[in-house]
């Protein structure tokens, strides 16, 4: 069953932080090969609470606390998947993904290719990214561009609790490695979330707000900021269409191009550092494939080329917000 087939359960609001363990639990009940491992995922329920309650239901043979070794966690997942299991592993902060990069980049992402398609690697790697919670430079980065650059990995980044449950379910059921990134700032945000299991298909973007003047492509936390910018600009007669890729790799370019064909202007927004970010790739694809539809160059908005500041005032200035999105849209409109 997919999200498009399933009506949202009326009145059932669920925060992002509860939608994630619900998806894992439903997949574990459905498939005995699914297990969970990572730092503090069992007894503590993860540092963010995204695996809370799973140990009580499934026990220590399927919910495992691991040593503090990211490279070992990805190695465990790769080996377990290669022999028929379906691991879900948690790397806690995305900043620590560098510790696991050899296993992630050279083993997990490459094994299917190097074995001529005979190896099946159904691994879901969960991790948390994003600034805005005053956790300083080593615990606040958004490194989605880094993993999107590695062939063999799919990369997912939901912007709301409904998509989080559906995308995580689809990720766990997928037969290829998926990096599932949650934004720490969104963990308390609530959405209508069905009780029943459902999937949001990987590789399919969502037009979360229709508009006529500027296409804003935004992911993760920036979707909410783009929606706020759209609301603010509406009173001035500027209409933003907001597109959430949901799956960052593979990127749903046709949905974005269909939007640009209507608006003739595009703004790509990311929380991560603007330089060499995933938004640069999206902007290039829009310019290459949708050039004839554009009335202005594709604009990009991202964080400055700097580590994330610890100071709350500086961090607030660092992260793009609705006001800056609105200002960029005004420039595109020539107002």
Rounded Cα distance between 273 and 267, Å, is 16
Residue 93 vs residues 124, 223, 307: alpha-carbon distances, Å: 15, 21, 15
Q: Any idea how long the chain is?
A: 335
Tell me, yes or no, if 293 is annotated catalytic.
Answer: no
Tell me, yes or no, if 225 is annotated catalytic.
Answer: no
HEC string for the chain: CECCCCCCCCCCEEEHHHHHHHHHHHHHHHCCCEEEEECCCCCCCCCCCCCCCHHHHHCCCCEEECCCCHHHHHHHHHHHHHCCCEEEEEEEEHHHHHHHHHHHHHHHCCHHHHCCCCCCCCCEEEEEECCCCCCCCCCCCCCHHHHHCCCCCEEECCCCHHHHHHHHHHHHHCCCCEEEEEEHHHCCCEEECCCCCCECCCCCCEEEECCCCEEEEECCHHHHHHHHHHHHHHCCCCCEEEEECCEEECCCHHHHHHHHHHHCCEEEEEEEECCCCHHHHHHHHHHHHCHHHCCCCCEEEEECCCCCCCCHHHHHHHCCCHHHHHHHHHHHHCC
Beta strands 34-38; 154-156: pairing state: unpaired
Rounded Cα distance between 151 and 314, Å, is 35
- Residue tagged active-site, from 22, 39, 139, 199: 139
Alpha carbon 275 to its chain's center = 19
Question: Residues 178, 155: contact at Cβ < 8 Å?
Answer: yes
- Residue tagged active-site, from 39, 70, 315, 328: 70
Catalytic center residues: 70, 139
């Amino acid at each position: 069953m997919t999200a498009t087939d399933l009506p949202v359960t009326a009145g059932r609001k669920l925060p992002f932080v509860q939608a994630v363990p619900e998806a894992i639990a439903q997949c574990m009940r459905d498939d005995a090969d699914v297990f969970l491992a990572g730092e503090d995922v069992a007894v503590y329920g993860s540092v963010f609470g995204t695996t809370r309650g799973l140990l009580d239901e499934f026990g220590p043979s399927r919910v495992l606390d691991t040593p503090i070794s990211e490279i070992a966690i990805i190695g465990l997942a790769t080996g377990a998947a290669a022999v028929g299991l379906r691991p879900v592993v948690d790397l806690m902060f995305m900043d620590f993904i560098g510790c696991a990069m050899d296993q992630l980049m050279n083993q997990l992402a490459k094994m299917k290719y190097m074995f001529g398609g005979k190896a099946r690697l159904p691994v879901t790697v969960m991790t948390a990214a994003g600034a805005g919670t005053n956790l300083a430079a080593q615990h606040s980065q958004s490194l989605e561009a880094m993993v999107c650059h590695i062939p063999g990995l799919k990369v997912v980044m939901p912007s709301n609790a409904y998509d989080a449950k559906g995308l995580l379910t689809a990720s766990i059921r997928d037969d290829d490695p998926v990096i599932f990134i949650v934004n720490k700032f969104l963990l308390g945000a609530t959405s209508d979330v069905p009780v029943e299991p459902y999937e949001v298909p990987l590789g399919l973007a969502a037009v979360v707000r229709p508009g006529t003047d500027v296409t804003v492509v935004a992911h993760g936390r920036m979707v909410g900021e783009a929606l706020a910018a759209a609301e603010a600009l509406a009173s001035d007669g500027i209409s933003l269409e907001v597109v959430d890729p949901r799956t960052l790799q593979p990127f749903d370019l046709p949905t974005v191009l269909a939007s640009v064909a209507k608006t003739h202007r595009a703004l790509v927004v990311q929380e991560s550092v603007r330089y060499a970010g995933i938004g640069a790739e999206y902007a290039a694809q829009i310019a290459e494939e949708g050039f004839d539809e554009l009335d202005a160059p594709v604009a990009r908005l991202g964080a400055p080329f700097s580590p994330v500041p610890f100071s709350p005032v500086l961090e607030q200035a660092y992260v793009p917000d609705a006001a800056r999105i609105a200002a960029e849209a005004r420039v595109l409109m020539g107002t």
